[in-house]
Structure 1
Amino acid sequence: MTILIRNLQRIALAMGASAALLAPLAVQAQSGEQFVALPSYRVGPYGANGQSFYGGFVDYLNYVNLKDGGVNGVKLSWEECETEYNNAKGVECYERLKGKSPMSKGTAYHTMSTGISYALVDKTAGDKVPLVMMGYGRTDAVDGSVFPYAFPLVTTYQMQVSAIVKFLAGKNGGSLAGKKIVYLYHDSAYGKEPIVALEAEAKLGKFNLVEIPVAHPGNEQGAQWLKIRQENPDYVIFWGWGVMNQTALKAAQKVGFARDKMIGSWWAGSEEDTVPAGDAAKGYMSATWNVAGRGVSLIADIDKVVYGAGKGNMQDRNKVGSVLYNRGVSAAVVTVEAIRVAQARYGKGKVMSGEDMRWAFENLNVNNARLQQLGATGLLPEIKTSCDNHEGSGKVKIQQWDGTKWVVVSDWIEGNKNLIHPLFKASAAQFAKEKGISPACMKS
């Protein structure tokens, strides 16, 4: 009897495994729905960040369905695939999700990972579906004549670091000449991406730059902060992610480096970073391309409509309105607006293809009037794209942690476009040469 039971258990396990393998093939988006692929991450060292971002993204898609019945009658559907912020798993998720809807091929891919984005640039172009990198990713994709299907929207790492330099210069009478700045960064594609721009800014602004990498995931920084104490810089520009951020704030406090002399990237400026750091975070600043809080009417309405219907995606409703939640909403807003733009050109009430969406992302004009209509005034900057400019904005605000919440301490700041955009062009031209691409703007 025992042998029989064991055999039955083995059979059941085998059948379960087979079912698990077959399940992805069986889940297909309905033909009349706009299927949105979400290669997300909610576990691992960066899982808390992904939970808030993708929670906001999904809540907005649900909001559009509940509030408006979809986009011109086309309901939105979606499916997540866990990448764990791992490049190989990110590629696996992309390959799995793109076949869910032969028409949309996933509509637009938001990986929230520079490494995964690099791994998908060629694949998404070959499959003719947009890769949207809002505030991350391959920044030379600003040049649409070389990267027609890649969109580093809102602003890029280079323009962000340039805006940070401009902000710091403004605090020093307009010049950083003779100052010393440490660049403390996540030793990955994400952390390395802005270095070329920061070095150009240092040369132009005549300040001393010291670059210090931190190995993934960043929970060991003793040697780095010992070096920072020895260097005694005027400022630390900080490019962290996940557990690395709270670790850095605590380490800065330990060595006596003032947090109001430390300014992070937008991926090092969320409640997930500051709350766990406690008193060590007070005074710390970061860049951001979206504001926090429920003061934005769209965020308040999502809370009312989606969570009021019991369909909220966040387990912790208190995180609605947090920096990363609102950033996820912003990313979804831009995606849905692109669907509207595509429908206006290719047919209202129809499911849009990846090619339709490419045109839409290249012809966005989300101006302040439209943001006001959406209830998103101030949530994110205006975005106007073209073949020459897949970024569309290049602006950030600076926020500061007061011990309990983020407080915006600047207006929108645009980086030095005349300095930075030629760097994009040069990098894109080199990529085109290596790949044998003849740069040209795609026609609709």
Structure 2
Amino acid sequence: MRKTLQCTLGAGALALALQAAPPARAADLEQYIPLPSFRVGPYASSGIPLFDGIIDYLTYVNETQGGINGVRLTWSECETGWLADKGVECYEQMKNGRNGSPTPFFFPLSGPIAAALAERTEQDRIPLVTIGYGITDATAGAVYPYNFPIMANFYSQSSSVVNYIAQLEGGADKLKGKKIVTAYNDSPPGRETIASMKLLAEKYGFEDIQVPIPLPGNEQTAVWRGIRQHKPDYVFLRGWGVMTPVAIKTAVRFGLPAERLIGDIWSASEEDVIPAGASAKGYKAITPNPSGTDFPVLQGIRKAVVDAGKSSLRDKNSFGSVFYNSGVMQGILMVEALRKTQEKYGVKALNGEEARWGFENLSLDEPRIAALGATGLLQPLEVTCDDHEGGGSVRVQQWDGQKWTVVSDWVVAERDLLRPLIDAGAARHAKEKGIAPRDCGRPL
């Protein structure tokens, strides 16, 4: 805190300020961050590198910057197994903070946990932050003040896939008459893109074919036999866990080229393609955070954390993987939201109500992203009261049999087209729950 004052005050004013300021409490100089991890269970192969990436980035900030303006970051993990009931238990254990430091936000890292906590976190005034999943309608911050589906909600993901297909075909007008199958995990999150794909099909004239895949997806022969009969031009694959490699292998076995399969964010990791073996070569998927180690922030983490023996990383081969980089990206969002919050509330440990302001004013432009060493890893973001997504872009990567290669620039969703769907859903929710929408400068 004194170091910050020295940068902004003259010597006389500084002396008066230091005399007037109360001594800093230890808790004020530590910011607690809860981490509801899933390192065991059916999705552990994804959760382990993801949380290693988050922790390594938080460690990197502590080691290279002394924390956020002198406020060091602390954290604890609570094992959820990705399960809703365990996630709720972890939230209740973590929501009151640690050692005098409040809890500023909660990243559930699980669709079922996010759904189970949506109302509870709002009552507790703690931002619930979901990246690439969660409640799409929560993009409307006027109705969902503490829910943030930042970066790429489900509607944006589907729109980005359609826009990428249009690029491959030589223009949006070439989509007319094409057949696009959405093969989705048969769950509430899996069904989230049905409405957006219907709207996009109406605009562009492609045939929208929806095919559910029963969970957990260990056997999909009947599903892909049926998809083959449709003779699709492209398949938008919305899997999770074991479902994705089984889908890829089965699709290829039925004669569908891997190049015509495009996975969503949760079908875009090494863990999704390596088990599929040779069948996965050529497979594509969208991602908000590409794999790779050439990003300056990754090089900084390697030097200050991994090589220094301070890493949480258990498998060094996971460094730079899709899920490890996802963890780094989410760590960046955590830190930058807190940094923004400090601008309004001061250099101290922050609570959820304060951090909500930080998220609603989070702005990351290209120069700031470059300063973070994350150009190409992180998309520009502009989160507001009205717009809790703030991004809406993805990149497309392709598996060459050994590694992912990025094959597109940022593909931008048609958010203006999709927003009426979101507003209508948010308005229904407000009516059902008796919520008076906030004034965010634009009526629903």
TM-score under structure 2 normalisation? Answer: 0.90
Aligned pairs, number: 414
> How far, CA to CA, are the matches of 2:313 and 2:215 in structure 1?
27
Counterparts of 1:359-438 in structure 2 under 5 Å?
359-438=357-436
State the partner residue of 1:207.
206
Which amino acid letter does the alignment assign opposite residue 151 of structure 2?
Answer: V
> Which is further off, 221-230 or 261-270?
221-230
Q: Give ranges in structure 1 of 5+ residues lacking alignment.
A: 1-28
Pairwise CA distance, 1:170: 2.1
> In 2, distance between residues paired with 1:159 and 1:93?
30
Counterpart residue number, 1:6: none
Shift of 1:215: 2.1
What CA distance in whole angstroms lies between the structure 2 residues aligned with 1:44 and 1:31?
Answer: 36
The 2-side partners of 1:196 and 1:88 are apart by 29
- In the aligned structure 1, how far is the partner of 2:383 from the partner of 2:418? 17
Partners in 1 of 2:409 and 2:120 — Cα distance?
A: 38
Partner of 2:356: 358
- Residue number in structure 1 paired with 2:168: 171
Pair 104,184 (structure 1): closer, same or farther in 2 beyond 3 Å: farther
Find out whether 1:277 has 2:310 as its counterpart.
no
How far the C-alpha of 1:216 sits from its partner, in A, is 2.1
Query: CA 1:90/1:441 → structure 2, altered by over 3 Å: closer, same or farther?
Result: farther
- TM-align CA RMSD: 1.6
Return the offset for 1:114.
1.9
Would the aligned equivalents of 2:27 and 2:101 in 1 still touch at CA under 8 Å?
A: no
Give every structure 1 segment of 4 or more consecutive aligned residues whose post-TM-superposition deviation is greater than 6 Å. none
SS in 1 for 2:132: coil
Alignment partner of 1:194: what SS? Answer: helix
Question: Which residue is 2:123 aligned to?
Answer: 126
Structure 2, unpaired ranges of 5+:
1-25
Partner deviation per Cα, 1:67-111 (whole Å, 9 max, x = no partner): 111111111111111111111111111111112338654322111
Q: Distance in 1 between matches of 2:310 and 2:167?
A: 45
Which residue identity does 1:402 align to in structure 2?
A: D
The answer on 1:157 being equivalent to 2:192 is no
Matched, 1:67 2:67: no
Asked whether the 8 Å contact 1:105–1:129 carries over to 2, the reply is: no
The answer on 1:79 being equivalent to 2:76 is yes
Provide, for residues 364-410 of structure 1, a one-character-per-residue CA deviation record: whole Å limited to 9, x for no partner: 11111111111111111011111111111101111111111111111
Moved more, 425-434 or 185-194: 185-194
Deviation larger for 384-393 or 214-223: 214-223
Aligned to 2:215: 216
The answer as to whether partners of 1:103 and 1:352 remain within 8 angstroms in 2 is: no
Does 2:20 align with 1:41?
no
- CA–CA distance in 2 between the matches of 1:418 and 1:342? 28
Deviation at 1:30, TM superposition (A): 5.2
Q: Could you report, residue by residue, the CA deviation over 1:312-357 in whole angstroms, capped at 9, with x for unpaired residues?
A: 1121112111111111100110110011111111112x11111110
Residue 172 (structure 1) shift: 1.9
- Structure 1 distance, partners of 2:184, 2:103, is 32
Distance 1:101 1:125 in 2: 20
SS of 2:208's equivalent? strand
Q: Is the 8 A contact 1:141 1:151 kept in 2?
A: yes
Contact 2:27 2:349 (C-alpha < 8 Å) held by counterparts? no
Give the letter for the 2:108 counterpart.
T
TM-score (norm 1): 0.90
Query: Which amino acid is 2:127 matched to?
Result: P
In the alignment, is the contact (CA less than 8 A) between 2:139 and 2:389 conserved in 1? yes
Percent identity between the aligned chains? 46
Aligned partner of 1:342 in structure 2 is 341
Determine the structure 2 residue equivalent to 1:262: 261
For residue 179 of structure 2, what is the amino acid of its counterpart? K
Aligned to 1:96: 93
